[in-house]
Amino acid sequence: MTAIVETRALTKRYGRRTALADCTLTVPAGRVVGLVGPNGAGKSTLLQLACGLLTPTSGTVEVFGRPPAADGAQLGRVGFVAQDTPTYAALTVADHLRLGAKLNPRWDAALAERRVRQLGLDPTQRSGRLSGGQRAQLALTLAVAKRPELLLLDEPVAALDPLARRAFLQSLMEFVAESESQATVVLSSHLVSDLERVCDHLIVLAGSRVQADGEIDDLLATHFRLTTARRDTDTLPAGMRVVNAEHTERQSTFVVRAERAVDDPSWVMEPLGLEDLVLAHLTADPRPVLEPQR
């Protein structure tokens, strides 16, 4: 499995505030990777480091084995849709397509125009007058018409209503299905249900550390909620790794990681939804969460 993005001990500080600390991870090729974590976990910082908008305080980040944004060619291979999907308010939809065509050597004009038509965007409309969902779609169009091999999306659907969100994800999946040698996508979000649909790989980031990392199907198949009479964590059988434990006077509820469900009359062991799975990993680390960085 080739790594498209690889970070080693990646750290970013703003003055005395740490936005991302000691982050080591790899993004495998050809996957749609969900980057999930609470606000301020460093998702945005990580993505901006990967596309070269930010430079690391220490540690390294490599994209396609090279530093990000090293030159025009490298920039052309990476598409980025920033948080709040900025576009030039005074420029029309058609102007934006022209911008993309002028600035990107591998620009796919036919794709861009087809997408704008499909989305029902008026090419003469100024982007400042578009709805949030339309603007996000325009930003996505700009990013995918570059024909990127890596597409980075920073909370693209966070500000959208459910309808626009679904439309955006449909567009995104269409791009993934259409790209010849399948593009790698990294998508940050705190909406786990969206990630579950569109991602096949998940990275859980909390306290700027990787808490869980793997194929979503594997994660779902190996995480269970185990409800039992109150007992200590270390009395559970070997082969079960406790992610999270909660106790009441009489009852203990564990989120465990195990190869398979183990039947035992003394407990109920059931599969765990992705959202609960992620939450279990997020609450596993009691360290305080930093304020979001913009």
Partner 1 sequence: MIEFHIEPRSGVAPYLQLVHQVRQALRLGLLHEGDRLPKVKDVAAKVAINPNTVLKAYRQLENEGLVSPKPGVGTFVTGTLGEPATSEHEPLRQELRRWLASARAAGLDPESIEALFRQTFRSTVEEER
Partner 2 sequence: MIWLTWRQFRAQFLVAAAALAAATAYLLYSGLALRDDYRELTAGCPTGGCSDANQLIDTYSLPYWTGCVLVLLAPALIGAFWGASLVARELETGTHRLVWNQGIGRGRWLTVKLLLVGAAAVAVTGLLSLLVSWFASPLDRIGHDRFTPLLFAARGVVPLGYAAFAVALGACVGLFLRRTVAAMAVTLAAFAAVQILVPLAVRPHLEQPVHRVVALDADTLHSARTLGFTGTHGPSATFVAGIDMPDAWMLSDSSPVQDSDNRTLTFGTQPCRDSSHDLPSEDCLARANLHIAVDYQPADRYWPFQWIETAIFLALTVALAALTTWGLHRRLG
Residue 250, helix vs strand vs coil: coil
Tokens of 234: 């270390």
Spatial distance between the Cα atoms of 150 and 32, rounded to a whole number of angstroms: 10
Q: Would the CA dihedral through 96, 101, 106, 110 be positive or negative?
A: positive
Beta carbon nearer to partner 2, 95 or 215: 95
Tokens of 179: 């790209």
Q: Using alpha carbons only, give the angle 115, 120, 126 rounded to the nearest 5 degrees.
A: 95
Beta carbon nearer to partner 2, 116 or 216: 116
Tokens of 155: 């909370």
- Which distant-in-sequence residues (6+ apart) come within 8 Å of 210 by Cβ? 23, 24, 25, 203, 204
| Beta carbon of residue 72, minimum distance to partner 1 (angstroms, whole number) | 30
Beta carbon nearer to partner 1, 221 or 245: 221
Beta carbon nearer to partner 1, 265 or 286: 265
Beta carbon nearer to partner 1, 150 or 216: 216
With CB cut-offs between 5 and 8 Å by kind, which of partner 2, partner 1, none does residue 79 bind? Answer: partner 2
Interface residue with partner 1, options 21, 25, 32, 112 (CB under 8 A): 32
153 binds partner 1 (CB under 8 A): no
Cα 72 to chain centroid distance, Å, stands at: 25
200 binds partner 1 (CB under 8 A): yes
**What is the size of the binding site for partner 1 (CB under 8 A)?**
33
Spatial distance between the Cα atoms of 208 and 199, rounded to a whole number of angstroms: 21
What letter would DSSP give residue 130? S
Q: Do 101 and 107 meet the contact criterion of CB atoms below 8 Å apart?
A: yes
256 binds partner 1 (CB under 8 A): no
Contact set with partner 2 (CB under 8 A):
48, 51-55, 69, 71-73, 75-76, 78-80, 82, 84, 86-91, 95, 98-100, 102-106, 139, 142-143, 146
What letter would DSSP give residue 230? S
Beta carbon nearer to partner 1, 171 or 252: 171
With CB cut-offs between 5 and 8 Å by kind, which of partner 2, partner 1, none does residue 239 bind? Answer: none
| Beta carbon of residue 278, minimum distance to partner 1 (angstroms, whole number) | 12
210 binds partner 1 (CB under 8 A): no
- Which distant-in-sequence residues (6+ apart) come within 8 Å of 231 by Cβ? 252
- Summarize as ranges the residues that interact with partner 1 (CB under 8 A): 31-32, 166, 169-174, 176-178, 182, 192-193, 196-200, 216-217, 220-221, 260-261, 263, 270-275
